Amino acid sequence: MKPHMLVLAAGLLFAAIPAGHAADTAAQPTPQSATQPSSAGVYRFAVGDLRVAALSDGTLPLGIKPLVKGLPPERIDALLAERFERDPLETSINAFLIEAGPRLLLVDTGAGQLFGPYGGKLPASLAAAGYRPDQVTDILLTHIHTDHSGGLALDGRMVFPNATVHVGQADVDFFLDRGNLARGLQARHYDEAVATVGLYLKAGKVKPFAEQSEILPGVTAIPTPGHTPGHAFYRVASRGETIEFWGDIIHVGPVQFPHPEATVAFDIDQDAARAQRLKRFAEEAGSGQLTAAAHLGFPGLGRLRRDDDAYRWVPVEYRNRE
């Protein structure tokens, strides 16, 4: 039986369950542990005086060979096999919570309802971290793509009614302008942006930025256009320590760390996205800069090292103590 690919609302490519698989397994007894869902994903750590938590919005099976541009399929399979992985690759959707004095910051919001059976677990992770959505004061969107901004709304209502949304002006201009449908914007992406970011824009709760600037005390927005016109990093500093939130400059770690020149189908400007990755990787490699990535395996935290002409991701050590 041949697998087919599903295309979800946000344009992601996933490998489907092989036809008949459910029927084949339905008659088999299921171990009790297999029926128990994983608990909400929360991983806490500190940056200076700030308490930070990685929050999982879930995972999804991402079809890699249709996604990656610039590498032959056999090379992609070989890179995955080196890590005992295969296509489709189970891919994380990570968000990050920052406790900053009177402010509670959330970096990205997950997919909400817009990825069908995948994603949408951020509210449970936020609750497991001890917070309600109405306590979030600021949302730092790395960009307006469904798996980052989809969690802003639920059933036509703002999920974070007391939050100000910070996002690159160029993304607001692109995704929320119907006129861009004639200039490459997909109708689905326009509709989803209006249904999510648009609610906050109408309520006067969007605060866009156009250049590198300190948008909140200790929080610097760094425009990195390419993946989207207004894609941005956020650098957060406290007591001499920093962390950078990378958004979608990296999607497929096993492929794009050894081949940073490879792009993905989601990159709106392929050349600019490639140039940003090459530039940022070169700047970060070996610096010891703590980095948070949206789609590397949860919690998505690590540092970058150069490995000859390629790069190597070094995940943070696991810690479970105060």
Would you list the domain boundaries of the chain? 48-314
**CATH code matching the domain that covers 48-314, chosen among 3.40.50.880, 3.60.15.10, 3.40.50.150, 2.60.40.1730:** 3.60.15.10
Q: List 6's β-bridge partners, or say none.
A: 14
Whether the Cβ atoms of residue 47 and residue 241 lie closer than 8 Å to each other: yes
Find the distance separating the first CA and the last CA of the chain, reported in whole Å. 50
Query: How many other C-beta atoms are found inside a 10 Å radius of the C-beta of residue 86?
Result: 12
Q: Which pLDDT score, from 0 to 100, does residue 231 have?
A: 98
Residue 42 and residue 21: Cα distance in Å, rounded?
32
Q: What are phi and psi of 36, to 5 degrees?
A: -95, 125
Q: Which pLDDT score, from 0 to 100, does residue 95 have?
A: 98
- The DSSP code sequence of 88-127 is SEEEEEEEEEEEETTEEEEE----TTTTTTS---HHHHHH
Whether the Cβ atoms of residue 119 and residue 95 lie closer than 8 Å to each other: no
Sheet-wide strand order for 310-315: 213-216, 219-223, 232-238, 241-245, 290-292, 301-307, 310-315
Residue 56 and residue 298: Cα distance in Å, rounded?
7
Query: How many other C-beta atoms are found inside a 10 Å radius of the C-beta of residue 129?
Result: 18
Whether the Cβ atoms of residue 85 and residue 39 lie closer than 8 Å to each other: no
Residue 212 and residue 232: Cα distance in Å, rounded?
9
In a 13 Å sphere around the CA of 164, the CA atoms on its Cβ side amount to 8
Whether the Cβ atoms of residue 56 and residue 125 lie closer than 8 Å to each other: yes
Residue 57 and residue 95: Cα distance in Å, rounded?
7
Ranges of residues in the chain whose predicted pLDDT is under 70? 1-40
Q: What is the H or E stretch that residue 80 is in? A: helix 73-82
